[in-house]
Structure 1
Amino acid sequence: MHQRIIIRIPRIRDPHVTMMREKPVRWREKRADKCHRVSDFVGAAITDDHSVDLMLRNGDRLRAKLGSDCPALDFYSGFYMLPGEDGKICARRDSIRSRAGGSCEIENFRQMVAER
C-alpha cells in the first residue's frame, strides 16, 4: 500500500509590505537547516525572481532558493510541495511544483531576518 500526500501552499499578501508602506522591510539572509517539516508552512510570498518565501507557523520566514533556470514568476498562480516519507521538505531533494505543471528543485533554504 502506498500513500501520497501533496501539500498546497497558499499565496498570501506579505504583511510586511502592506503594513509598512512608508518604510519597506529590509531582509537579511541567515543560514537555515536543509530540511523543514511541511506542517510548519502556512503560506508563501513571491518577492524575488528565483525564490519563494515561506511563512512558518511560528511567524518566521524561510526563503526557498530555486535554480537560476527556474523563475519564481511561474508560481504566482500557486504551487504544491510533495514531502518525503519523513514529512519534511529538503533542499537538494525536493521540488516545488507550479499549478501550471512546472517543477523546480529547491537548491537551499535561508532564514530571513527583518532588519529594524
Structure 2
Amino acid sequence: MARPGPNLLPAALTMLATPILLGSGDPPSQVQYAQITIRERVILRVPRSPMPAVTASRWKERKGPRCIAAQALAGALPGEAGSVDIVLSGGKRVRAKLARACRQIDYYSSFYIRPGADGQICADRDPIRTRGGAVCEIEKFRALSPR
C-alpha cells in the first residue's frame, strides 16, 4: 500500500477546513423554533405498615373492586400467601390476590406500583414491583371487612 506523498497532505487538510471557512462568513440565520414534549412518569412507593394487633384471619373477604384510586393508598400489610393487604385512606382494606406467590414482598419493607394513565390501579393490568426487581401480577382485589 502506497503512502500519500507530501503534496497530498496539504490538499486533504484544505478540503477538511473549507466547510469551516465557508460557514464563518455567513450572515446570522433566522430564529428557528422547536417543540419539546415532556411526559410525566409516576411510580408510587407503598410502605408496609407495622403488623397490627388484629390478625389477618379475622378479616372476611368479599367481592372487591376491579380498580382502586392511587390517591387512596395509605400503606400495605403482608397478607396470607400469595396476597398483599392494602390499607386505604379512611381505614378500609383491600386484599390484592396475586397471580402467583411473590416471596420477595416479604423480604423488603416496601414495593412499587405504577398507576395507569387514569390514576387507577387495576387488577389484570397494573403489577406490583418489588424492590428486588420481581414483578407480581395482581389477579383480583377482594374487599376486607372485620368478622
- TM-score normalised according to structure 1 size: 0.86
Point out 4+ residue stretches in structure 1 off by more than 3 angstroms: none
* Larger relative contact order (CA 8 Å, sep ≥ 6): 1
Give the % identical residues: 41
Unaligned stretches of 5+ in structure 1? none
User: Over the residues paired in the alignment, what is the CA RMSD in angstroms?
Assistant: 1.5
- TM-score normalised according to structure 2 size: 0.69
For 1:75 and 1:2, how far apart are their aligned partners in 2?
29
Comparing both structures, which one devotes a greater share of its residues to helix? 2
Paired residue for 1:74? 104
For 1:96 and 1:45, how far apart are their aligned partners in 2?
14
Unaligned stretches of 5+ in structure 2? 1-37
Structure 1 stretch 25-34 or stretch 57-66: which is displaced more?
A: 25-34
State the aligned residue count.
108
Comparing both structures, which one devotes a greater share of its residues to strand? 1
Kindly name which structure, 1 or 2, has the bigger radius of gyration based on alpha carbons.
2
Secondary structure of 2:137's counterpart equals: strand
Q: State the Cα distance separating 1:16 from its structure 2 match.
A: 3.7
For 1:64 and 1:54, how far apart are their aligned partners in 2?
7
